[in-house]
Structure 1
Amino acid sequence: MSADADARKAAEVACTPVEKRALVYDCTIALKAGKGGAPVVDAEFTVGADMPSMPGAHNVRPVPAEPHGMPGMYRARIELEMMGEWVLKLDFTKPRRDRLVRKLRFGRMGGRDAGKH
C-alpha cells in the first residue's frame, strides 16, 4: 500500500432532517486521517449530492462544509430533490485535493449509510 493510500482520509457522515423543511438535511461529517487516525482539522471541502439511479437528473449543487464543535467535526446543510439513495461527494481542497464518496439512503428519519465507495 502506498503512503498516499495510508494518508487517505476517512469520513463518517450522518444526516438529520431539518424541522419543518422537507428534504433539507443537516449533515455532520467526522474526518479522520485514515481509519482510526487522528481528527483532520482545518480541512476545506464542499459536499454535493447525486442520485445514482438517475445520473445527472438530480444533481445537488455543492455547499461548503464548516467546522462544527470538536476537532475533526464538520457540518453542511443540503437540500435534496426527493427521498431515496443519494451519493454524497466530499471534494477537498485542503489539506490536499481529494474526493471521498459516501452512499446514504434518505427518508423522513434522515440519511443512513447505504454502503461505502
Structure 2
Amino acid sequence: MEHVLWTIYLGLLGTASLSYLIKGKYKSKLSKIDFVVSVITWIGLLGYVTEIAILNPSLWKFIAVTALLWDVLFAMLLKDNEGEEILDGLPIMTRRVWMLITLVIAIGPLYYGLFRYAFS
C-alpha cells in the first residue's frame, strides 16, 4: 500500500509540473531552473520508491540538501509573487507563513523520500 501511495504522489508532482510546462508557465530563468531541480528530485524519489540505485549515494546527499535549500529560497524569496490572490489582504509575514505551510505539505513527502534515499 505504501508503494502505491508513493507512486500516486510522484505522479501528482510530475503531472502538475508537466502541465505548467505545457502551458508555458515556466518563463523566467529562475522558474526554468526550478523545473530542472524538480525533475532531478523526482528521479531521486523514483529511485527511493522503486528501491533502485540511481547514481552515487554521495551525489544524492548533495542533491537533497541543495534542492531543499533551492526550493525554500525559490518559494519564499525568489518567486515573482508573494502568494496567490487569496492571500492579498494578509500582511507579508502571514503570507510567508502560509506559503511555508503549503510548501511543507506539498513537497515535504518529496524531501522525506529523497533524504531517506540519500542518507540510508
Name the TM-score, length of structure 1 as normaliser: 0.24
- Of Structure 1 and Structure 2, which has the larger fraction of its residues in helix? 2
Whichever structure has more strand as a proportion of its residues is: 1
Which structure has more relative contact order (CA 8 Å, sep 6+)? It is 2
Higher gyration radius (CA) = 2
Normalising by structure 2, what TM-score? Answer: 0.24
